Structure 1
């Protein structure tokens, strides 16, 4: 099982890695609040934020290819949510704004998670009195995301070992089946975890 999908480079050495966890988390949260609060068509501010992020990427010494691949993997979810705005008045502008804001937010979170070990972030959240339930949910999400990724990789290998055709129709059909099966497995796993937690006194 790989444990580096989110924070592969979080333990490297760089000027950004060496900054205090509290400074990085507060800066990231502040930037996210600004992004969320920005009205649509704030093109100049969007550009300025992007320009500010570039030197952070350079100083962090994170591979550009890694960041781009992670963004590409996450963008479909952004597009899936944003596409609904196209049906509103002025939908195109809203759609573009949401995509830009979401991409900037994702990039900030990728930078934070790959320059700060996740357990340090959780420790800081506890110190600043974030509700314990929220911290626990984040910890569980972090832990079981890797389990889910590992499960999907096993299913992918099994599918490839049984596939003897490269037709696009067959590939898409197999992927849909795999996603459905993964959803069922993750739901069953979540129920087992919930039952185990209840048995240990969680409510």
Structure 2
């Protein structure tokens, strides 16, 4: 996580102007949900379908004017963590054996499963990160609440966003204190100091988070960030949702015809 929140701002491209930014946040969330569900529900091995979705995502990335380097870094960091879990799908008993060492074996079914799940995750992470990079977080939370997501879940997400900045601030403060005392001069002491810092970080951020929450309640916090007005959708939003729905249907037609 600390790699992900260096100079913490999730919505780095939210102030740009593009056809994607002209859509209201609720429409962007609906388009993202449609694409992610279509990608996730496609059976393994349907490369043509995912190729169509990938082309659609490349088009969206160009139209939204998202910073490609920031998008690639975020997807890369998230994919590394998920990839460790995905390795378990590689070792399966079914299919033709490609490689074997003792009880470990890699089969054609395992390779297909790993490639399919990895491609699904890559496309889904790309779509979600485009949404987050191009949508202000308060507007995104209000859009999720408008779509009837349980208020408690929205409040938890809002608190997570608010307190990640607190976590980063506390970590940087402890790191500066360790450097000023020359406690990071060797790898051995670095491991020892960082291990102690992780434990102390939990206590310090818990106490500070509680103070921040009390201050927010005293200022009228109700579970969502304040927003001046809730934007209303127009004809562009209807066209966008229709276009995304049509893209998902076209992709599924390739799968149905190939059966």
TM-score range, shorter chain: 0.7 to 0.9
Q: How is 1:58-137 mapped onto 2 (pairs within 5 angstroms)?
A: 58-89=62-93, 90-137=109-156
Change (3 A) 1:190 1:80: farther
Structure 1 window deviating more from structure 2 (120-129 vs 102-111): it is: 120-129
Shift of 1:193: 4.7
**Counterparts of 2:83 and 2:196, CA distance in 1:** 21
* Conserved? CA contact 1:10–1:17, under 8 Å: yes
- Is the CA contact (8 Å cut-off) linking 2:144 and 2:154 kept in structure 1? yes
User: Aligned equivalents of 2:132 and 2:79: distance in 1?
Assistant: 17
| 1:50-102 Cα deviation digits (max 9, x unpaired) | 11011111111122111111122212111122122223333322222222111
Q: TM-score if structure 2 supplies the norm length?
A: 0.63
Q: Find the residue that maps to 2:134 and give its secondary structure.
A: coil
CA 156–193 in structure 1, closer or farther in 2 if over 3 Å, else same = closer
The structure having more radius of gyration, on CA atoms, is 2
Structure 1's 81 and 154: CA in aligned 2 closer, same or farther, altered over 3 A?
Answer: farther
Change over 3 Å in CA distance of 1:187–1:94 after alignment to 2 = farther
* Alpha-carbon distance in 1 for matches of 2:196, 2:119: 30
Offset, 1:126 = 1.9
| Distance in 2 (alpha carbons) for counterparts of 1:53 and 1:12 | 18
Which of 29, 51, 54 is matched with 2:58 structurally? 54
TM-score (norm 1): 0.78
User: Against the structure 1 CA distance between its residues 196 and 51, is the aligned structure 2 distance closer, same or farther, given a 3 Å change threshold?
Assistant: closer
Give the 3 Å change call, closer, same or farther, for CA 103–186 of structure 1 in structure 2: farther
**Match of 1:36?**
40
- Asked if 2 retains the 8 angstrom alpha-carbon contact of 1:7 and 1:114, the reply is yes
Q: Distance in 1 between matches of 2:51 and 2:132?
A: 23
Aligned alpha-carbon RMSD (Å): 3.1
